[in-house]
């Protein structure tokens, strides 16, 4: 084709028209949220980058007619991929994954309504295919030139350079985009639909290979470990104390224990949670650690529901959502519990729409269940107060007993809050993150207090136990300078850093009367056995790595996901041991007892990883064994 005398090869023209089409689909047919101009820019360039990558390959094909055929069929194939995703998206607000394609379940649901999901104007999606088809036929007739070697190499080099540039920009805008395996919407937004599918395929084949080579031969070793190191003889006094009661579990976003019973600018940060610390119906755990990694909230959910460790890379909710699990919701379901999650975010975020049913949850009240508007939302979405308020109408209709998990959202980085919602002032330091953290923590504290009142007014309070757990840290070590200023410490040592990984845990049992502050070294890995114990449910043949938090015989360490660990006497981090109470660095001779746990912790983490990588629970029949 000649444009003002410049002869553009067909693969470039195809790139341009296919790229424009793809951009229009991204922008107007998928609802991808764009938060700033960098994101708009990335979304604009990625369709062209992907199209060029595909079409420029044609220069390597020798025969001109084959070259043209390649362009035609690639345009058609690419359009079919877009079209299939679009139809899928209209039903599930999500993009197709390989496991989904193979699983067939979702696609089956789609089957009946597929016609209603296709719009008449979808035909326009194929306009560029027709144009490319026509031009390629025309060129073929005129016989196409073959490209010189330098031209071929240039086209390939350019397409790769463009892709690297695109990935680089994406990684800058969303650090750890690939390793955190965030959300499909993010991936499509930043690297485009086609590269997303390639990424999904790579991830899938990796998971599949590990899956294929596992044969369950590791299981006896794992079982022996669980039997000797983890499993406890006898039960705690609280076994069955909440038998038959509803479990209301609040996953409190980004709260760390250092805010409890603390002040900022002379003002109390969490008055309601502080009142619970004193409350006679509440146990407060002051040495409770989060054990999450890159999957953050989803990792904390994974730990809680399975008593398995999350993975060292990526979010296990995303990478191993198809595995067999033997999770708390499933076990509670078998005992007659209705199990559900309330969280005002997209259901595809962290792949929850796939993972929750697999863990045995009966229902997920996601953002669609809520009325979200400009006035009642900030930052990540619906504010916590309207979130709890609006959840009540659903909660009241649930069949009892139920296990209901509520995941809050307002106290999320970057900790934005409307002026009218601020009850305390910001802190003053060089870190806006830390400064803003305090008012949003207070807002969450107030929202939980309001939720307690709503529960009391509804009459559900007496029949329930309420657990409040911090999901992970909110203030990363990037803010250590400001943190040391706030904590009035000279510096944040590796010991302090580990201690800052403590998140609050409250177990509130209405009418119990024996609540106290507990110093037990404990972590999220302990939640599943603890909840089962409180409800009086036996789980002798389960495989898990935590202990009932109320049992005094429990194993005496808590492993963090990076291999650090904490005992009553020591903290191991950075290849060194610190005295638990004083924070003093121990000399090698004094550290022997502490160091001796090193191998056990590694072994424990490896066993847990092996279960996930090899999907080993598919070889265990938990039901027969019970
Ligand atoms: C998203 C919410 C926050 O739905 O759970 O996730 P996080 O960024 O904290 O992992
Ligand atoms: Mn979180």
Find out whether the beta carbon of 297 lies less than 6 Å from any atom of ligand 1: yes
Sign of the torsion angle spanned by Cα atoms 537, 540, 542, 544? positive
319 in Cβ contact with 340 (< 8 Å): no
Q: Which ligand is nearest to the CA of 186?
A: 1
Burial (CB count <10 Å: 0-12, 13-18, 19+), residue 429? middle
Tens digits of residue pLDDT in 234-269: 899 999 999 999 999 999 999 999 999 999 999 999
Residues belonging to the active site:
297
Q: What share of the chain is helix, strand, coil (3-state, %, to 5)?
A: 55, 10, 35
Among 74, 47, 76, residue whose Cα is nearest residue 61:
74
Long-range pairs of 131-137 with CB within 8 A, sequence gap ≥ 24: 131/17, 132/10, 132/13, 132/14, 132/17, 132/18, 132/71, 132/72, 132/75, 133/72, 133/75, 133/76, 135/1, 135/10, 135/13, 136/10, 136/68, 136/69, 136/71, 136/72, 137/68
Q: From CA 493, how far away is CA 498, in angstroms rounded? A: 9
> What contacts 127, CB < 8 A, 6 or more positions away?
21
Q: How far apart are CA 45 and CA 191, in angstroms?
A: 9
User: Which atom of ligand 1 lies closest to the CA of 254?
Assistant: 9
Rounded to whole angstroms, how far apart are CA atoms 203 and 52?
A: 24
- CA–centroid distance, 95 to ligand 1, in Å, is 19
The β-bridge relationship of strands 505-508 and 464-470 is antiparallel
**Res 1: pLDDT:** 53
Question: Between 3.40.30.10, 3.40.720.10, 3.40.80.10, 1.10.3720.10, what CATH number should domain 219-552+565-621 receive?
Answer: 3.40.720.10
Relative to the alpha carbon of 413, which ligand is closest?
1
Tell me the CA–centroid distance for residue 416 and ligand 2, in Å.
Answer: 15
345 lines ligand 1 (CB under 6 A): yes
| Smallest CA separation from ligand 1 atom 6, residue | 297
% of the chain at pLDDT higher than 70: 95
pLDDT tens readout for residues 338-391 = 999 999 999 988 899 999 999 999 999 999 999 999 999 998 899 999 999 999
- How far apart CA 566 and CA 287 sit, in angstroms, is 10
- The pLDDT tens digits of the residues spanning 478-519 come to 889 999 999 999 999 999 999 999 999 999 999 999 999 999
570 vs 1 pLDDT, higher one = 570
In whole angstroms, give the CA distance from residue 291 to residue 546.
12
Identify whether the C-beta of residue 109 lies closer than 8 Å to the C-beta of residue 2: no
> Which of 253, 297, 370 to mutate to test ligand 1, by most ligand atoms within 8 A of the CB atom?
297
pLDDT score for 441: 98
Would you say the CB of residue 387 lies under 6 angstroms from ligand 1? no
pLDDT of amino acid 333: 98
Q: How far is the CA of 444 from the centre of ligand 1 (A)?
A: 15
Element (H, E) at 572: strand 570-573
What is the reported pTM? Answer: 0.80
Residues with CB under 5 A from ligand 2 (ion): 253, 296-297, 471
Torsion over CA: 51, 56, 61, 65 (sign): positive
Q: Mention every residue, 6+ apart, whose C-beta is less than 8 A from residue 174.
A: 182, 186, 190
Out of 175, 380, 387, mutate this one to test ligand 1's pocket (max ligand atoms within 8 Å of CB): namely 380
For residue 474, the CA-to-ligand 1 centroid distance in Å is 11
What is each CA distance from 509 to 253, 274, 440, in whole angstroms?
22, 16, 26
* Residue among 321, 328, 295 at smallest CA distance from 310: 295
2 — pLDDT class (breaks 50, 70, 90)? low
Mean pLDDT estimate for the chain = 92
- What pLDDT sits at residue 210? 84
DSSP states of 99-161: HHHHH-HHHHHHHHHHHHH--GGGGGGGHHHHHHHHHHHHHHHT-PPPPPHHHHHHHHHHHHH
323-360 burial: b if 16+ Cβ within 10 Å, else e: bebbbbbbbbbeeebbbbbbbbbbbbbbbbbbbbebbb
The pLDDT tens digits of the residues spanning 509-548 come to: 999 999 999 999 999 999 999 999 999 999 888 999 999 9
What residues contact residue 570 under an 8 Å CB cut-off, 6+ apart? 577, 578, 579, 580, 586, 591, 593, 594
Question: Is the Cβ atom of 412 under 6 angstroms away from ligand 1?
Answer: yes
- C-alpha 57 to ligand 2 mean position (Å): 42
CA of 471 to the centre of ligand 2 (A): 6
Distance CA 134, CA 1 (A): 12
pLDDT bin (cut points 50, 70, 90) of residue 205 is confident
Whether residue 256 contacts residue 475, with contact meaning beta carbons closer than 8 Å, is answered with yes
Q: Distance between CA atoms of 232 and 385, rounded to whole angstroms? A: 40
Distance CA 160, CA 71 (A): 19
As a whole number of angstroms, the distance between CA 11 and CA 55 comes to: 5
Q: Which run of H or of E encompasses 191?
A: helix 184-213
If you take atom 5 of ligand 1, which residue's CA is the nearest one?
A: 297
| Whether 295 contacts 529, CB under 8 Å | no
Q: How far apart are CA 7 and CA 336, in angstroms?
A: 71
Structure-token match 């362009």, residue found: 71
Residue 108 contacts by C-beta under 8 Å, 6 or more apart in sequence? Answer: none
> What's the average model confidence in pLDDT over 35-61?
93
Mutate to test the pocket of ligand 1, among 249, 298, 379, 503 (most ligand atoms within 8 A of CB): 298
Domain range annotation of the chain: 2-210, 219-552+565-621
- Mean pLDDT in residue range 199-214: 86
H-helix segments, 268-367? 271-278, 296-306, 316-319, 328-334, 352-359
Between 615 and 97, the more confident residue is 615
Top pLDDT among 66 and 140 is at: 66
pLDDT of residue 252: 98
Tell whether omega for the bond before 297 is within 30 degrees of 0, i.e. cis. no
């Amino acid at each position: 084709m000649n444009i003002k005398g410049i002869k553009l090869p067909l693969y470039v023209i195809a790139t341009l028209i296919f790229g424009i089409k793809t951009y229009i689909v991204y922008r107007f047919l998928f609802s991808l949220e764009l938060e700033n101009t960098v994101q708009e820019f990335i979304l604009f360039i990625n369709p062209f980058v992907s199209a060029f990558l595909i079409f420029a390959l044609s220069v390597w094909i020798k025969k001109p007619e084959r070259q043209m055929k390649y362009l035609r069929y690639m345009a058609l194939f690419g359009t079919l991929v877009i079209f299939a995703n679009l139809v899928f998206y209209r039903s599930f607000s999500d993009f197709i994954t390989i496991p989904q394609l193979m699983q067939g379940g979702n696609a089956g649901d789609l089957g009946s309504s597929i016609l209603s999901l296709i719009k008449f104007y979808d035909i326009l999606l194929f306009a560029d295919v027709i144009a490319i088809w026509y031009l390629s036929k025309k060129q073929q007739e005129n016989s196409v030139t073959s490209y010189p070697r330098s031209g071929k190499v240039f086209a390939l080099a350019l397409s790769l350079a463009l892709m690297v540039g695109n990935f680089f920009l994406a990684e800058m805008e969303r650090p750890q985009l690939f390793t955190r395996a965030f959300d499909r919407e993010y991936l499509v937004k930043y690297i485009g639909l086609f590269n997303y599918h390639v990424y999904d395929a790579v991830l899938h084949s990796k998971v599949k290979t590990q899956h294929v080579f596992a044969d369950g031969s590791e299981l006896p070793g794992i079982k022996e470990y669980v039997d000797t190191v983890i499993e406890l003889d006898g039960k705690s006094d609280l076994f069955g104390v909440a038998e038959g009661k509803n479990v209301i579990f609040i996953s409190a976003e980004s709260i760390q224990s250092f805010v409890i019973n603390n002040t900022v600018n002379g003002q109390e940060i969490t008055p309601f949670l502080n009142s619970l610390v004193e409350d006679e119906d509440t146990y407060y755990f002051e040495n409770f650690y989060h054990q999450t990694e890159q999957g953050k909230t989803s990792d904390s959910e994974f730990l809680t529901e399975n008593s398995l460790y999350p993975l060292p890379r990526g979010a296990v909710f995303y990478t191993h959502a198809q595995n067999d699990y033997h999770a708390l919701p499933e076990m509670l379901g078998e005992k007659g519990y209705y199990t559900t999650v309330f969280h005002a975010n997209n259901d595809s975020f962290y792949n929850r729409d796939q993972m929750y049913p697999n863990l045995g949850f009966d229902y997920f009240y996601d953002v669609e269940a809520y009325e979200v508007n400009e006035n009642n939302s900030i930052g990540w979405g619906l504010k916590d107060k309207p979130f709890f308020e609006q959840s009540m109408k659903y909660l009241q209709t649930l069949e009892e007993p139920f296990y209901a998990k509520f995941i809050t959202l307002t106290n999320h980085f970057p900790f934005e809050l409307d002026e009218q919602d601020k009850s305390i002032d910001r802190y003053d330091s060089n870190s806006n993150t830390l400064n803003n953290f305090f008012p949003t923590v207070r807002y969450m504290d107030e929202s939980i207090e309001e939720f307690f009142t709503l529960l009391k007014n509804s009459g559900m309070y007496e029949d329930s136990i309420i657990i409040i757990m911090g999901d992970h840290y909110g203030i990363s070590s990037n803010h250590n300078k400001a943190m040391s200023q706030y904590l009035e410490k000279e510096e944040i040592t590796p010991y302090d850093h580990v201690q800052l990984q403590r998140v609050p845990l409250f177990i509130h049992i209405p009418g119990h009367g024996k609540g106290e502050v507990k110093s037990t070294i404990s972590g999220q890995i302990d939640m599943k056995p603890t909840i089962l114990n409180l409800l009086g449910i036996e789980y002798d043949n389960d495989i898990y790595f935590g202990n009932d938090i109320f049992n005094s015989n429990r194993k005496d360490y808590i492993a963090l996901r990076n291999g650090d660990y904490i005992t009553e006497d020591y903290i191991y981090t950075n290849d060194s041991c610190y005295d638990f109470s004083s924070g003093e660095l121990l000399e090698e001779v004094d550290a022997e007892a502490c160091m001796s746990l090193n191998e056990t912790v590694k072994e424990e983490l490896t066993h847990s990883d092996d279960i996930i990588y090899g999907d080993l629970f598919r070889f265990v029949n938990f039901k027969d064994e019970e």
